[in-house]
Amino acid sequence: MSKPSAIVIGAGIVGLATARALSLKGFDVTVIERNERAVGASVRNFGMVWPIGQPDGVLNQRATRSRQIWKEVADSIGLWYDPVGSLHLAHEQDEWDVLQELYHSFSTNGRDVQLMDKQQIAKSFNGVNENGLKGGLFSHTEMIVDPREAIAAIPNYLTEYLDVNFIWNTTITDIQNGKLKAGSRVFQADLVFVCSGPDFETLYPDEFAKAPITKCKLQMMRFLPESDNWRIGTSLCGGLSLIHYPAFKAAPSLQALKDRYLAEMDEYVKWGIHVMVSQNDRGELTVGDSHEYALTFDPFDRARLNQLILDYLKSFALASNWKLVQSWHGIYSKLTNGSNDLLLQPESQVYILNGLGGNGMTLSFGLAEEVVARL
């Protein structure tokens, strides 16, 4: 008996994760990507696999499962990754209060975290601004990949180990009754997953218009440190990150901290700026980011936002001598109703999987397994 067939549209992280899950479910899988390689939001991020930011329960379990899959894939093909954890820093007393509350909540719920004072941080990591440093919350669960390398390598893994077929430079313009059109070419499958981020509005504009969805533009930069061999030893996060991730709502003092940021740093809050640093295998330091929400964006980056990011970066990291080598922006879909993902079925045997926001690297593998298991 022949396998059932499935087509996945989009070779970003959601599409790759879905292709993996479908193949393991027993489908003969083809991935169709409109570009010669993935160039969207999946390669324009920190490369952070970030369980610390997900609240206890389903989302943290999904992030933990995704991290496990990332390691399995990377180990299979020799893909670089670095399980360096994360360090959230406090340079103000109210930030330190929040971190202590989070430590109590997280450790009670079994998370692998520890509070570190100024001296412990100085001994363990590089690049931290110790001036005014109160302490930090270190989590052991986060890991870094280089998204450019990873998203380029995973198709090779899927082809070699799971017999997934890839068709590049092919744009699907219409889907009807299991038939997909790309110019004069026609493809057919028993099951179709549209995993092309906000671009699904071109295939299903009515579904896009009805969905609680918008788009987010973020600005990021990449630096080189002074020395080729210099390593931070973890991923660094300033206090502003505490008001960005839902897991940190567990801290009773968080609202008071947010109120202070609104009063003293309203421009940062307005543009959704929270500053983090990850380091890849080449030593490059990825820094960002901002969050601008709309359906249509100015194609040009705002120098003011990059400057705000840099100014805040220097408040918690020793970045004065870092050399800027790249800057860019990315755009991803974001749900407006508080949900963490969007699964639509616009017609029989066609699904749209979307809306992970900025959590694609962290949640996609786990989410795809869950979705495919329910089919």
Question: What CATH number corresponds to the domain at position 16?
Answer: 3.50.50.60
Query: What's at 249, amino acid-wise?
Result: K
Q: Residue 210 and residue 207: Cα distance in Å, rounded?
A: 5
Whether 202 and 327 map to the same domain: the answer is: no
Count of CB atoms situated within 10 Å of the CB of 74 = 19
Q: How many separate domains does the chain show?
A: 2
Whether 198 and 326 map to the same domain: the answer is: no
Q: Residue 248 and residue 57: Cα distance in Å, rounded?
A: 14
8 A C-beta contact, residue 58 and residue 250: no
Whether 226 and 303 map to the same domain: the answer is: yes
In a domain, 59, yes or no: no
Whether 159 and 302 map to the same domain: the answer is: no
Whether 134 and 265 map to the same domain: the answer is: yes
Q: Residue 361 and residue 323: Cα distance in Å, rounded?
A: 26
In a domain, 248, yes or no: yes
Q: What is the pTM of this model?
A: 0.96
Extract the residue ranges of the chain whose pLDDT is less than 50: none
Q: Which residue range(s) make up the domain with 154? A: 5-46+148-211+340-373
Interior angle at CA 31, CA 25 and CA 35, nearest 5: 160
In a domain, 112, yes or no: yes
Q: What is the pLDDT of residue 177?
A: 82
Whether 217 and 308 map to the same domain: the answer is: yes
Whether 185 and 258 map to the same domain: the answer is: no
Whether 305 and 354 map to the same domain: the answer is: no
Name the residue among 241, 233, 266 with its Cα closest to residue 91. Answer: 241
Q: Where does residue 45 rank: exposed (0-12), middle (13-18), buried (19+ CB within 10 A)?
A: buried
**Tokens, residue 274:** 């929270």
Q: What is the pLDDT of residue 76?
A: 96
Whether 180 and 318 map to the same domain: the answer is: no
In this structure, the strands spanning 213-224 and 191-194 are: unpaired
Q: Residue 308 and residue 160: Cα distance in Å, rounded?
A: 44
Whether 199 and 233 map to the same domain: the answer is: no
Nearest-Å Rg of the Cα atoms of the chain is: 21
Whether 223 and 125 map to the same domain: the answer is: yes
Q: Residue 184 and residue 87: Cα distance in Å, rounded?
A: 52
In a domain, 68, yes or no: no
Name the residue among 218, 323, 228 with its Cα closest to residue 273. Answer: 218
Whether 10 and 120 map to the same domain: the answer is: no
Q: What is the pLDDT of residue 1?
A: 67
